[in-house]
């Protein structure tokens, strides 16, 4: 995101949130949150009792009722404020995004041809399947797939990354996003979606929280909170008849006033978590966006917290970029120059980094120059996932390079022999963790090119972290098993899938899911799309193809495959924050009982004064202190709700212990101190 | 507390825990349909039942069919118990010629016994014929217990099921529970009890001559409206008899608690000496404790069962010790009257009001804690006369939802609902969608679990509130002041959690208490069974999530502690205000 | 739903027959053979073969020459275990711990005991002034028995040591050494007391 708000309480957002908190007093909005709705009703009820006390004989002193009533309204407003703060931060980001969604003119082509008739139309009229042309300086009018051309594109409006990126037809860099700008050259683009459904639109809706639906865990938690609220409602409502009995039995005192019952109820029901619940959810999405990950739903973020298995593409994720050719090893009876020549010849048209590195290695080491290919009637055979080979047919030669077993099958088909010396070289390279690429000319195998992977620095530590979280990492690679094993060992992944094809990837994911595991994967290519669609949490790279982005449920704008780890952390934080605040909220009730129960019954049974273990000044100050504490704690915890509970990878048991001590035991103790301090303050201010 | 009190507590716990594994493993075999040793002598009865009833024992049910079978069977049982009470005057085995029971009492008693509550608004020896006791109550003592066990087993099958609709066959679970578990244990216990002096006969009540005749003054009003005083000499004592031992054995083993006689296990013919007392109190917790192991065995991880048992013990033991301590402390106002309450080698001492000499305060307090931890409700002393804190213990144990051991089966499935709530919050705190034994806890599971956790306290609070401000409620109170409130609260807690014990000063044989109590017992039994079975069905349909280091362990000390905290906190937060107005304030008045 | 009807009815009938008839009748039969005395109420008979009480059920004694049992809340008389249908008999006081009626009752009982034996000044053992749970408690604590020795001996004209010895003889310890509480069966003790008195009268060793 271009404009990340780093400070939690940004002035403009806070001001807007204050206004919003009052707007949210609308009963229709309040009704959505059962816990806070009870507080809301309580506020209205006590306000009514205050008015009654003013003009008629009230159940308690009007000043006391007013004070309680005001603090109940504050409780509602503080909860509203928390939600408004979370939303406000999202809105600020949405506004930045909206600037990119200007109504741009588009050059619509009548047909998919560079010289076709151009018609200038508004971007909003573009439909899926239309072909448009974007030239240097143009804003790209819509999301789409490049079908022709290559250009550098400035995507900073979306990703916040100022360096331009290359977009070209075919391959994995063919998708473009509406609102980005072409800097050089031109692109012919097939529009991929209708207006209003563009990536930018979805992103804005997401950050604004407009489309935010409650996640499954949130729903379950809401059920628990609602049930707790009902229990406390009953526990307090029945206190009225109980106290009537007590008054009769003791022959003194008065039944508990309704105002006090409402105060007790509000203190007991889980307002802390109830008031912060939606803020936590919104803030979670917001944190994802700050990490430059756009999730299509909150459900996906939450699911990320549950991931058991993480599938990672080797290339670009575990290893640095691409493999480099480092050596030519000829077969017996073949000179190294012959091999280098054939390898170079087969790679001229191979635009992959590996292919280029072969050309370069041959040139540097054996002074082989580029040749005029057109004179050789060369026909290039592109790489496919099925053949796992590429090559060239020219001058009657059929040069192929590819995975060792693919070449072996190829020569066998042509009646050739796969020599043992090559086999030995292949094994040796694999053992070293390199990638062997066999080269054949017709039925004879010329030798092997050694490609080498370089494992990214620091990746091993990341995987160890994942292991501590209980997540299994699986490396996916097209390499043969030997190579894969060597790299897997070097990178420290738990498992690997070698010689992966789209089918085997999909099968692997299904197997894990069948076993009850939740699978996450990252991908960028079109051939990743089926696997992404199958995975429970699928992060598509923004640099990837449109198909991959459609199939995933998150898009990483930075196109950084290890981002998944942060996504998982955010998902976990989201749940942990909810759980911890729920615990805190319920643990708080113990001290509130000790403040309020003696206070309301001491008039009937003076012996109850012995339960006033906090030595609160008067019954009224005790009740006030509990109510004020209950309201203020919401404000105090807003930063925690927005930032999330800290997550450090460790086994679940340890994590639970830490949070139970912090939020459970802490939740028991803190309010005793807080309520006592507020009581002392009230006394000091002569309000008690 | 005396050294002997500690020794007795320890002895009880050691024997109980030692029996958990053998009995638990045996019950697991029974429910898994494996040979258990008793299928040889009793198997023909099982097979005969299935044949006559047209039951295919290997055909499992989905949760709805299971629930319908449970409800239908219980409804039938209720109708029969009601009919027997109303018609006993015309039926055989009625040597004392007892007449029909009143409709409201018969309704209350029928619900009470089918729901495994065994609340008694009557005294057996003055109200029920031998036939009603045997064919009505003894039968329900067995089958209501077996129903609870069947529902538990269904839930266990749901938890370990993998994407299936089936949770077992109710008829099979019911018949096997009765034939192989309850019947043999009861048979053995009944005979031991008879050997100790518990009566077991079909003879009529026995009349004996008193050594010292007793007189009393009888006041009658003659036709002219004049009150006449007349001294009556009593030279005989009538000893009520009956087939008691056979019923008492299952009353304890099945956590039923309904006494053959009115004063329940305090009656010397029900519980003649400390040894019979020990066996009976042991029998109360035996099956609920052992079922924890059965659970662990059946879900394939016995540590899970031990963890739940540990959680139960962690809550139970301190409360039991607290109760024993409170009763040993005696009553300061009685000490002030020149009474010696000091325990010694020559007497139990302590608060002896409402307690039997042979049991003393220790065995009485242990029993009080045990009978209310389990949803048994039988008493060997009068809880109404306990010290305030001593009485708070049994009251609160019931209010915890009868999940600390609880009823046979029902206690553990109730506890599993708390486990689900505990797992849910703990699961969130470790950042994963909560799961228990590989089953994800989602909105539906939460809904069912919270219904089970919510219903009993809601019933208790609301009915207490109604009773304590209406004349029909307060007129039954026997003791003045805060203690009167405790009596009502105890009644509601007992019936609303299917326990059945009482602060017996409250005169509950009135239409209001009989009808309201019946409703409470009915709702708290069946409105928990149905959601439990629904939960079993939902669990069964789910995938099993494999364990990883990110999975929250539910068998370790930390989780056990967390479960304890959840149960105690919910129980405390719900009932603290009410308890403050009852036993707590009475304690403050008595001691300060 | 209706498919479950037949199993419900049949299983109910079969289980009722097994648990409600066969089981109690079998236990009754075995008990009648193996434990006939216990199964029929542990009845004590006098030398004439007349049933004079149960070993397990207390009887009321108020004469100073007998050991008194604990107070009993049964109605219409103490230790009434059955008084005909529809009138609860065996019962407890169910007095709460702060009930003034309880304190009044205890006070009266203390006064009664003191009046019967003004020489005894010590505190009264608690079980002697509090009602039992069943109202039929057959026992008192040894302490309560010893408390009454002087009064009984005086009323009967027996030597205190002899009565004390008798009490010691009838003291029961805890079952298995740990279970329950120490106790004395009042009916047995009083019967033994009567035997002792008549033996003394017969030998005439001591004037009454």
pLDDT digits (tens, 9 = 90+) for C38-79: 999 999 999 899 999 999 999 999 999 999 999 999 888 899
Task: State the count of interchain CB pairs (< 8 A) between A and B.
Answer: 220
**What number of other Cβ atoms are within 10 A of residue C80's Cβ?**
22
Q: Is B108 exposed, middle or buried (0-12, 13-18, 19+ CB in 10 A)?
A: buried
Chain C, window 113-152: residues with a beta carbon less than 8 angstroms from a chain B beta carbon: 122-127, 129-144, 146
Q: What is the spatial distance between Cα C208 and Cα C189, in angstroms, rounded to a whole number?
A: 20
Cβ within 8 Å, pair B45-C144? no
Report CA-CA distances (Å) from C168 to B358, B454, C60, C173. Answer: 16, 56, 21, 11
Q: Are residues C28 and C52 in the same domain?
A: no
If we measure between CA atoms, which residue out of B571, B447, B459, B444 comes closest to residue B526?
B459
Beta bridge partners of C171: C184
- The CA distance from C160 to the nearest CA of chain B, in Å, is 18
Q: In terms of CA atoms, which chain C residue is nearest residue B99?
A: C85
CA atoms within 13 A on the CB side of B103: 0
What's the confidence (pLDDT) of residue A48? 95
Q: Are residues C69 and C135 in the same domain?
A: yes
The helix/strand/coil state of A415 is coil
Task: State the count of interchain CB pairs (< 8 A) between B and C.
Answer: 428
Q: Are residues C68 and C152 in the same domain?
A: yes
Local structure of residue A370 (DSSP, 8 states): P
Strand residue runs (E) in B331-405: 339-340
Residues in chain A: 688
Chains in contact with A via at least 3 Cβ–Cβ pairs below 8 Å: B
Q: What is the spatial distance between Cα A541 and Cα B94, in angstroms, rounded to a whole number?
A: 85
Strand residue runs (E) in B175-222: 206-221
Judge whether C127 lies within some domain: yes
- The CA distance from B446 to the nearest CA of chain C, in Å, is 28
Judge whether C32 lies within some domain: yes
H/E stretch holding B521: helix B511-541
Q: Are residues C77 and C10 in the same domain?
A: no
Query: How many angstroms separate the first and last alpha carbons of chain A?
Result: 51
If we measure between CA atoms, which residue out of A32, A99, A75, A113 comes closest to residue A269?
A75
The partner residue sitting opposite A231, judged by closest CB among B427, B454, B552, is: B454
Q: Are residues C186 and C120 in the same domain?
A: yes
Torsion sign over Cα B4, B6, B7, B11: positive
User: What order do you get walking across the sheet with A186-191 strand by strand?
Assistant: A118-122, A105-109, A131-135, A186-191, A144-148, A175-176
If we measure between CA atoms, which residue out of C121, C164, C172 comes closest to residue C145?
C164
pLDDT digits (tens, 9 = 90+) for C135-186: 999 999 999 999 999 999 999 999 999 999 999 999 999 999 999 999 999 9
State yes or no: ipTM above 0.90.
yes
Which residues on B lie below 8 Å from A305 (Cβ)?
431-433
Total domains in the fold of chain C? 2
Which residues on B lie below 8 Å from A647 (Cβ)?
431
Averages of pLDDT over runs of 10 residues in chain B (592 residues) are 95 97 97 91 93 93 96 96 95 91 94 94 90 94 97 96 93 96 97 97 94 88 83 92 96 94 94 97 97 97 97 98 96 95 93 96 97 95 96 97 95 96 94 90 94 95 96 93 96 95 92 95 96 97 84 93 95 94 95 80
Cβ within 8 Å, pair B243-C30? no
The helix/strand/coil state of C35 is coil
Judge whether C208 lies within some domain: no
Cβ within 8 Å, pair B339-C126? yes
Report helix angle A619-643 to A666-684, nearest 10.
Answer: 130
pLDDT digits (tens, 9 = 90+) for B555-586: 999 999 999 999 999 999 999 999 999 999 99
Helices assigned H by DSSP within A432-545 = 459-469, 481-491, 502-514, 529-534
Both tokens of B486, joined, read 């405790």
H/E stretch holding A401: strand A397-402
Q: Rounded to two decimals, what is the model's pTM?
A: 0.88
Cβ within 8 Å, pair B454-A605? no
The helix/strand/coil state of A6 is coil
What's the confidence (pLDDT) of residue B103? 94
Judge whether C146 lies within some domain: yes
Phi, psi of B565 (to 5 degrees): -60, -40
- The CA distance from B305 to the nearest CA of chain C, in Å, is 30
Strand residue runs (E) in C39-154: 43-45, 51-54, 124-125, 139-140
Judge whether C162 lies within some domain: yes
CA B357 remoteness from chain centre? 24
pLDDT digits (tens, 9 = 90+) for B316-366: 999 999 999 999 999 999 999 999 999 999 999 999 999 999 999 999 999
Q: What is the spatial distance between Cα B525 and Cα B522, in angstroms, rounded to a whole number?
A: 5
Phi, psi of C90 (to 5 degrees): -60, 120
Torsion sign over Cα C151, C152, C156, C160: negative
- With a CB cutoff of 8 Å and minimum separation 6, the contacts of A7 are none
Contact B283, B329 (CB under 8 A): no
H/E stretch holding A545: none
Q: Are residues C121 and C160 in the same domain?
A: yes
If we measure between CA atoms, which residue out of B131, A585, B387 comes closest to residue C130?
B387
Buried b (16+ CB within 10 A) or exposed e, A443-458: eebbbbbbbbbebbee
- With a CB cutoff of 8 Å and minimum separation 6, the contacts of B151 are B70, B409, B410, B413, B529, B532, B533
- The CA distance from A513 to the nearest CA of chain B, in Å, is 9
Chain C, window 43-72: residues with a beta carbon less than 8 angstroms from a chain B beta carbon: 43, 50-63, 66, 70
Query: How many angstroms separate the first and last alpha carbons of chain B?
Result: 21
pLDDT digits (tens, 9 = 90+) for B442-494: 999 999 999 999 999 999 999 999 999 999 999 999 999 999 999 999 999 99
- The CA distance from B432 to the nearest CA of chain A, in Å, is 5
Look up tokens 């031998």; give the residue. B130
Taking phi over 0 as left and psi of -120 to 50 as alpha, with beta for the rest, A451 belongs to beta
Cβ within 8 Å, pair C126-B178? no
Q: Are residues C26 and C81 in the same domain?
A: no
My answer on whether omega of the bond before B134 falls inside 30° of 0, hence cis, is no
Cβ within 8 Å, pair C125-B340? yes
Contact B70, B529 (CB under 8 A): yes
Q: Are residues C78 and C102 in the same domain?
A: yes
Cβ within 8 Å, pair B481-A470? no
With touching defined as 3+ CB pairs under 8 A, do chains C and A touch?
no
Both tokens of C191, joined, read 């019967």
The helix/strand/coil state of B486 is helix
Q: What is the spatial distance between Cα C171 and Cα C181, in angstroms, rounded to a whole number?
A: 11
B435-436/B439-440 β-pairing: antiparallel
Structural domain including C173 reads: 41-203
Q: Is A658 exposed, middle or buried (0-12, 13-18, 19+ CB in 10 A)?
A: middle
Q: What is the spatial distance between Cα A33 and Cα A279, in angstroms, rounded to a whole number?
A: 12
Q: What is the spatial distance between Cα A531 and Cα A533, in angstroms, rounded to a whole number?
A: 5
Which residues on B lie below 8 Å from C91 (Cβ)?
123, 262-263
Q: Are residues C102 and C30 in the same domain?
A: no
Q: Are residues C75 and C3 in the same domain?
A: no
Catalytic residues of A: 313
Beta bridge partners of A287: none
**What number of other Cβ atoms are within 10 A of residue B92's Cβ?**
9
Cβ within 8 Å, pair B72-C126? no
Judge whether C139 lies within some domain: yes
The partner residue sitting opposite A516, judged by closest CB among B442, B546, B574, is: B546
What's the confidence (pLDDT) of residue A94? 76
Q: Are residues C13 and C53 in the same domain?
A: no
**What number of other Cβ atoms are within 10 A of residue A639's Cβ?**
13
DSSP per position, A231-242? HHHHHHHTHHHH
DSSP per position, B19-85? HHHHHHHHHHHHHHT---SSHHHHHHHHHHHHHHHT--TT---BHHHHHHHHHHHHHHHHHHHHHHH
My answer on whether omega of the bond before C125 falls inside 30° of 0, hence cis, is no
Residues in chain C: 208
The partner residue sitting opposite B505, judged by closest CB among C94, C127, C181, is: C94
What's the confidence (pLDDT) of residue C208? 40
> Stretch C181-200: mean pLDDT, rounded?
94
Contact A675, A595 (CB under 8 A): yes
What's the confidence (pLDDT) of residue A161? 65
Averages of pLDDT over runs of 10 residues in chain A (688 residues) are 50 87 92 93 96 88 94 96 86 73 77 82 83 86 84 76 75 78 86 77 67 79 94 95 95 93 95 92 83 80 86 77 80 86 82 79 77 67 77 83 86 86 86 82 88 79 84 85 84 88 88 87 78 88 78 82 82 92 94 93 93 94 96 94 88 91 95 96 87
Cβ within 8 Å, pair A597-B426? no
Q: Are residues C88 and C168 in the same domain?
A: yes
- Above 60 in pLDDT, residue C207? no
The partner residue sitting opposite B454, judged by closest CB among A230, A237, A576, is: A230
Judge whether C143 lies within some domain: yes
């Amino acid at each position: 995101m271009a404009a990340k708000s780093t400070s939690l309480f940004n002035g403009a957002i806070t001001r807007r949130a204050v206004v919003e908190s009052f707007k949210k007093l609308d009963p229709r909005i309040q009704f959505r949150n059962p816990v806070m709705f009870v507080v809301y009703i309580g506020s209205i009820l006590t306000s009514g009792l205050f008015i009654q006390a003013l003009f008629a004989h009230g159940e308690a002193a009007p000043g006391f009722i007013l004070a309680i009533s005001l603090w109940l309204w504050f409780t509602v407003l503080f909860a509203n404020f928390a939600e408004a703060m979370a939303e406000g931060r999202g809105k600020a980001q949405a506004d930045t995004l909206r600037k990119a969604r200007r109504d741009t003119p588009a050059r619509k082509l009548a047909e998919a041809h560079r010289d076709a008739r151009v018609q200038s139309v508004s971007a909003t009229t573009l439909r899926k399947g239309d072909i448009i042309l974007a030239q240097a300086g143009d804003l790209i009018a819509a999301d789409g797939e490049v079908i022709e051309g290559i250009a550098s594109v400035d995507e900073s409006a979306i990703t916040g990354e100022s360096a331009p990126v290359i977009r070209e037809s075919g391959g994995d860099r063919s998708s473009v996003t509406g609102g980005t700008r072409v800097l050089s050259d031109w692109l012919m683009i097939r529009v991929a979606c209708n207006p209003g459904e563009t990536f930018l639109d979805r992103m804005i809706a997401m950050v604004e929280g407009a489309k935010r639906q409650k996640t499954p865990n949130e729903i379950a938690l809401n059920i628990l909170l609602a049930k707790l609220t009902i229990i406390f409602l009953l526990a307090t409502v029945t206190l009225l008849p109980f106290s009537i009995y007590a008054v009769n039995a003791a022959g003194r005192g008065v039944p508990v006033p309704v105002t006090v019952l409402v105060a007790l109820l509000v203190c007991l029901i889980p307002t802390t978590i109830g008031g912060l619940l939606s803020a936590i959810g919104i803030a979670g999405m917001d944190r994802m966006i700050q990490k430059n990950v756009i999730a299509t739903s909150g459900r996906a973020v939450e699911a990320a917290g549950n991931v058991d298995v993480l599938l990672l593409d080797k290339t670009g994720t575990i290893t640095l970029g691409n493999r480099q050719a480092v050596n030519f090893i000829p077969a017996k009876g073949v000179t190294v120059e012959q091999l280098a020549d054939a390898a170079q010849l087969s790679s001229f048209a191979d635009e992959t980094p590996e292919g280029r590195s072969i050309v370069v290695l041959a040139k540097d080491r054996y002074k082989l120059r580029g040749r005029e290919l057109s004179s050789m009637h060369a026909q290039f055979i592109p790489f496919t996932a099925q053949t796992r080979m590429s090559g060239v047919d020219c001058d009657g030669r059929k040069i192929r390079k590819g995975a060792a077993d693919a070449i072996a099958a190829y020569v066998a088909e042509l009646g050739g022999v796969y020599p043992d010396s090559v086999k030995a070289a292949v094994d040796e390279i694999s053992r070293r963790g390199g990638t062997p690429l066999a080269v054949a000319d017709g039925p004879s195998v010329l030798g092997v090119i050694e490609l080498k992977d370089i494992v990214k620095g620091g990746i091993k530590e990341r995987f160890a972290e994942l292991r501590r979280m209980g997540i299994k990492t699986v490396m996916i690679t097209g390499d043969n098993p030997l190579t894969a094993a060597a790299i897997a060992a070097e990178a420290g992944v738990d498992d690997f899938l070698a010689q992966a094809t789209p089918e085997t990837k999909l099968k692997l994911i299904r197997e894990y899911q069948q076993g009850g595991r939740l699978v996450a994967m990252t991908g960028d290519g079109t051939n990743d799309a089926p696997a992404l669609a199958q995975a429970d949490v699928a992060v598509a790279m923004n640099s990837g193809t449109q198909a991959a982005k459609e199939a995933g449920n998150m898009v990483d704008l930075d196109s950084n495959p290890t981002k998944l780890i942060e996504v998982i952390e955010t998902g976990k934080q989201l749940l942990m924050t909810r759980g911890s605040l729920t615990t805190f909220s319920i643990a708080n009730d113990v001290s509130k009982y000790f403040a309020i129960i003696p206070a309301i019954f001491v008039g009937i049974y003076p012996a109850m004064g012995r339960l006033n273990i906090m030595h609160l000044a008067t019954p009224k100050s005790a009740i006030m202190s509990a109510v004020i504490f209950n309201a203020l704690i919401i404000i105090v915890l807003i930063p925690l709700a927005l930032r999330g509970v800290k997550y450090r990878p460790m086994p679940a048991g340890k994590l639970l212990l830490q949070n139970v001590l912090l939020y459970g035991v802490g939740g028991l103790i803190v309010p005793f101190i807080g309520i006592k301090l507020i009581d002392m303050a009230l006394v000091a201010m002569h309000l008690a | 507390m005396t050294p002997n009190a500690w020794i007795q507590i320890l002895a009880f716990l050691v024997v109980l825990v030692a029996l958990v594994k053998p009995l638990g493993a045996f019950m697991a075999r029974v429910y898994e349909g494996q040979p258990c040793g008793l299928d040889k002598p009793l198997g023909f009865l099982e097979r005969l039942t299935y044949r006559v009833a047209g039951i295919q024992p290997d055909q499992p049910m989905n949760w709805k069919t299971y629930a319908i079978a449970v409800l239908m069977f219980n409804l039938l049982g209720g109708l029969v118990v009601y009919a027997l009470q109303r018609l006993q005057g015309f039926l055989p085995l009625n040597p004392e010629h007892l007449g029909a029971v009143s409709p409201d009492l018969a309704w209350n008693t029928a619900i009470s016994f089918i729901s495994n509550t065994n609340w008694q608004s009557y005294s057996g020896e003055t109200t029920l014929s031998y036939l009603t006791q045997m064919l009505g109550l003894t039968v329900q003592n067995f089958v209501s217990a077996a129903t609870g066990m069947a529902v538990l087993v269904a839930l266990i099958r749901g938890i370990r099921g993998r994407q299936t609709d089936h949770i077992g066959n109710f008829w099979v679970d019911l018949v096997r529970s009765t034939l192989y578990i309850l019947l043999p244990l009861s048979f053995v216990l009944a005979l031991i009890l008879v050997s100790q002096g518990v009566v077991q006969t079909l003879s009529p009540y026995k009349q004996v001559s008193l050594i010292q005749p007793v007189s009393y003054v009888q006041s009658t009003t003659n036709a002219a409206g004049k009150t006449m005083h007349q001294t009556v000499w009593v030279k005989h004592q009538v000893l009520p008899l009956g087939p008691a031992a056979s019923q008492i054995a299952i009353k304890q083993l099945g956590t039923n608690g309904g006494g053959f006689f009115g004063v329940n296990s305090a009656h010397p013919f029900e519980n003649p000496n400390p040894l019979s007392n020990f066996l009976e109190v042991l029998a109360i917790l035996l099956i609920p404790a052992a079922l924890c192991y059965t659970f662990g065995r059946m879900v394939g991880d016995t540590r899970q069962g031990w963890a739940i048992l540990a959680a139960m013990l962690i809550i139970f033991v301190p409360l039991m010790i607290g109760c024993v301590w409170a009763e040993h402390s005696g009553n300061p106002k009685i000490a002030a009257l020149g009474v010696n309450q000091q325990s010694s080698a020559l007497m139990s001492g302590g608060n002896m009001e409402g307690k039997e000499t042979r049991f003393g305060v220790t065995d009485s307090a242990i029993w009080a804690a045990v009978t209310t931890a389990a949803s048994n409700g039988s008493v060997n002393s009068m809880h109404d006369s306990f010290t305030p804190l001593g009485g708070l213990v049994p009251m609160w144990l019931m209010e915890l939802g009868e999940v600390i051991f609880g009823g046979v089966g029902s206690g553990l499935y109730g506890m599993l609902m708390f486990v689900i709530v505990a797992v849910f919050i703990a699961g969130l705190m470790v950042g994963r969608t909560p799961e228990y034994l590989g089953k994800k806890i989602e909105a539906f599971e939460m809904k069912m679990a919270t219904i089970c956790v919510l219903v009993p306290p809601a019933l208790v609070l609301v009915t207490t509130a109604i009773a304590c401000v209406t004349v029909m409620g307060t007129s039954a109170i026997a003791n003045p002041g805060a203690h009167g409130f405790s009596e009502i609260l105890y009644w509601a807690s007992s019936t609303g959690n299917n326990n059945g014990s009482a602060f017996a000063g409250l005169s509950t044989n009135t239409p209001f208490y009989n009808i309201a109590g019946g409703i409470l017992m009915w709702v708290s039994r069946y409105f928990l069974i149905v959601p439990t079975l629904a939960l079993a069905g939902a669990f069964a349909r789910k995938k099993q999530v494999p364990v990883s280091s990110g999975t929250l362990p539910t068998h370790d000390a930390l989780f056990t502690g967390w479960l304890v905290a959840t149960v105690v906190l919910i129980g405390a937060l719900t009932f603290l205000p009410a308890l403050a107005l009852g036993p707590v304030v009475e304690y403050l008045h008595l001691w300060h | 739903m209706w498919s479950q009807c037949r199993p419900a009815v049949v299983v109910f009938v079969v289980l009722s027959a097994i648990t409600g008839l066969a089981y109690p009748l079998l236990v009754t039969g075995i008990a009648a053979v193996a434990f006939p005395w216990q199964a029929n109420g542990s009845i004590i008979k006098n030398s004439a073969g007349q049933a004079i009480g149960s070993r397990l059920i207390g009887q009321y004694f108020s004469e100073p020459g007998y050991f008194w049992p604990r107070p009993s809340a049964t109605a219409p008389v103490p230790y009434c275990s059955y008084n005909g249908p529809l009138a609860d008999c065996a019962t407890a006081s169910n007095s709460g711990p702060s009930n003034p009626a309880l304190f009044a009752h205890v006070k009266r009982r203390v006064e009664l005991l003191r009046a019967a034996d003004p020489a005894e000044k010590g505190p009264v053992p608690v079980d002697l002034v509090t009602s039992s749970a069943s109202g039929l408690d057959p026992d008192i604590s040894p302490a309560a028995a010893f408390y009454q020795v002087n009064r009984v001996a005086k009323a009967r004209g027996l030597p205190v040591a002899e009565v004390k010895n008798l009490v010691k003889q009838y003291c029961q310890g805890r079952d298995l050494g740990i279970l329950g509480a120490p106790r004395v069966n009042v009916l047995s003790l009083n019967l033994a007391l009567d035997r002792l008195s008549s033996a003394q009268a017969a030998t005439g060793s001591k004037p009454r």
